Amino acid sequence: MARPKVVFDTNVFVRALINPKGINARLILSLSTYVLVTSAAIVEEVAEVLARPGVLHDTAIRKLDVERVLELLTRAPMVSPTTAVMVCRDPDDNKFLEAAIAAGAAYLVTSDKDLRDLGEYEGVKIRLPVEFLRELGE
């Protein structure tokens, strides 16, 4: 069976770094069971959020861990969305759906309520990290 393509929202990476033993970190450690797909806009947002003053100082996140996440993202298959999506209450969230649609992804994993409220969009299932792991059988 082919591994499903998946797009992660920025919050998955940030929460994985904050709690290396939590569900979001488990997602990243489960990379062999799915294909993580990203876009330039997602990489840019993750890098920007992780570079914000205080992120490293106010949490237990180490610079080395941030670099590993950014390396993971740059090694992931990159898509260039050609179709604009404008369905999210927060327009900044549309980039995740655009990437998922461009990749033909089965899932968008997020803890963002604005995205989760959509449930599914254009065949992309929008799931909480715990729901995604459950559906993968992890």
* The pLDDT value given to residue 1: 66
**For 112-127, how does the pLDDT look when each residue is reduced to its tens digit (9 = 90+)?**
999 999 999 999 999 9
The strand pair at 38-39 and 107-109 is best described as unpaired
Which of 91, 98, 83 is closest to 40 using CA atoms? 98
Confidence of residue 29 (pLDDT cuts 50, 70, 90): confident
* The pLDDT value given to residue 31: 87
d(CA 93, CA 86): 9
User: What is the share, in percent, of the chain residues with pLDDT greater than 90?
Assistant: 77
Domains, the chain, ordered by start: 5-136 (3.40.50.1010)
* The pLDDT value given to residue 38: 98
Single pTM value for the model: 0.93
Confidence of residue 60 (pLDDT cuts 50, 70, 90): low
